[in-house]
Amino acid sequence: MSNTDVRVRFAPSPTGYLHVGGLRTALYNYAFAKANNGKFILRIEDTDQNRYVEGAVENLINTLGWAGLQYDEGPEKGGDFGPYFQSERLDIYKRYADELIAKGKAYYAFDTPERLQQLREEQMEKKLQPKYDKFALSLSKEEVHAKLEAGEPHVVRLNVEPGPKVIIDDIVRGKVEFDRDVIDDQILIKSDGFPTYHLANVVDDHLMGVTHVIRGEEWLSSTHKHVLLYEYLGWDLPRFAHLPLLLNSDRSKLSKRQGDVAVESYREKGYLPEALNNFVALLGWSFGDNTEFFNMQQFIDSFTLEKVHKAGAIFNIEKLNWLSAEHLRSRSADEILILLREEIEKSKYNNDELSDDYLKLIIEAMRERVSFAFEYLQKSPYFFEEVSSYDEDVIKKRWKAETPDHMSALADAFEKMDNPGDKHDYESVLRATAESLGVGAGKLIHPVRVATSGMGTGPGVFDLLYILGKEKVVERIRKAVDSIKIG
């Protein structure tokens, strides 16, 4: 097989949001396709009509696009192997179900729900593995025909026959074996005429030329049924790779009960797509060294299925937050400006008076202090609105009896400045003022910060003063002198 033959698919069900585990599956499939000059297919597995959620497909496509995972074939894009919605392929599944029945590899079953429940209870009482007892195979051809003619509810089941163990050569798991006598006669076509995952999945993967099935570990226990279907239909097997489970910190399976699992939630919270991709890529895979920060192309260049781990991967939100900060800081000021503008538009600070140059000064001053674009507003509101209060703890510590006189002298000195060109001009004036007052520079630096920002932390104080500008600095200092009362 040449690299150009590689074809992989991401096949989610439209049941709501995109789970982070689904994003990882899509990401690994995408990276594998790109690393091997192959094709990445999006297929919608919408045969379970009871679980279908209106708008879920559109949301899925939008979320994959946000994450930068552009598929080569699928809904909206089309391709040579469509339709890409399983609900539009029902005649195809029926055709192959009929072929299996004709070969004796599948059969009609007319059992009532009551009979199946009774069978299950009896098997559990005897401590037997619950599985279908092949009762329907005892029906004669005439009986089957009559029931079909009468329109009796029925399903189509896989006929698991005695034989050697089913062996799966999994790229991640290695050799996995299943005894045939523990494999149930799985339902292939439900009573509503829709296929189950098992039949539709195998038929579609074969007809769409899928060469590698890369999916979550939870499907490993069903893969023996899929192997049998390939065998019964006379088709070559794809290569299988089952990805490790995603786990909470307590090693329980990742679920929304312990935190957000929807990609859309992380998007809404301000995480960058490249940061989330970076984080998700590390949930079961690594470069093989200590590298943790990387971009998509670096990931693709290094990605192989052989590097995927078997052990479950811990979802560590602290690492995601660290990566979010690193990716934001790695962006240029122009790129961050776009993000900051989006945040401003959503905020109470939305106005046309904030110039790009002004915002870029804020971006550089706060770059090392923020992890998300919205934190530019959250952590430094004083750049966007007037100071209305002062941190009481800072006032207690930094605002002394002599401070008002010191601040008034500093405001006078700043007011006399002639067109300050950069932050160093503010530093020179402050230090000269401190010297004339006979005090250390710290006696002015800390009070002027709280006077102009209301806070005790932030960017370098001289960056703060330069960005605000002379008039605003003088105005805020004089306001603080009048407003702040101690003891």
Reported in sequence order, the residue ranges of 219-274 that DSSP labels E, i.e. its strands, are: 239-243, 246-247
Q: What are phi and psi of 214, to 5 degrees?
A: -110, 110
DSSP letter for each residue of 274-306: HHHHHHHHTSSB--SSS-----HHHHHHH--GG
Exactly one of 134, 165, 253, 256 is catalytic; which is it?
256
Amino acid code (one letter) for 384: F
State residue 76 phi and psi, 5-degree precision.
75, -35
Written as one letter, the residue type at 205 is D
Cα gap 374→324, rounded to integer Å: 12
Identity of residue 291: T
Tokens 């099935």 label which residue? 213
Distance CA 242, CA 310 (A): 9
CB-based contacts of 465, cutoff 8 Å, min separation 6: 414, 423, 426, 448, 452, 473
Give residues with Cβ within 8 angstroms of 41, minimum separation 6. Answer: 7, 8, 9, 10, 71, 72, 73, 74, 79, 81, 84, 208, 210
- Residue 256 is a catalytic residue: yes
Element housing 97 (H / E): helix 90-102
Partners of 42 in the β-ladder: 10
Which residues belong to the active site?
256
